[in-house]
Amino acid sequence: MPPEDGSISGDSVERDVLAEHRRLETLFEEVLDSFHPEGEPDAARAALKELRAALETHFDQEDRLYYPAIWALRPDLKTELKGLVDAHDEFVAQLDHLEALLGRGKRGEARQATESLSSVFKSHEEAEEAVLATLDREFDTAR
User: Least distance from C-beta 76 to Fe ion, angstroms?
Assistant: 19
Q: Give whichever of 14 and 62 is closer to Fe ion, judged by the CB atom.
A: 62
**Closest distance between Fe ion and the C-beta of residue 105, in Å?**
31
Residues that bind Fe ion (CB under 5 A): 62, 128
The 10 Å Cβ neighbour count of residue 50 is 14
Give CA 87 to chain center in angstroms: 10
Closest CB 143 distance from Fe ion, rounded Å: 26
Q: Where are the alpha helices (DSSP H) in 62-106?
A: 67-73, 78-103
In this complex, which beta carbon is closest to Fe ion, that of residue 2 or of residue 45?
Answer: 2
> How many angstroms separate the Cα of 23 from the Cα of each of 54, 116, 125?
9, 18, 12
| Single-letter code of the amino acid located at 100 | A
For Fe ion, give the closer residue by CB, 88 or 97: 88
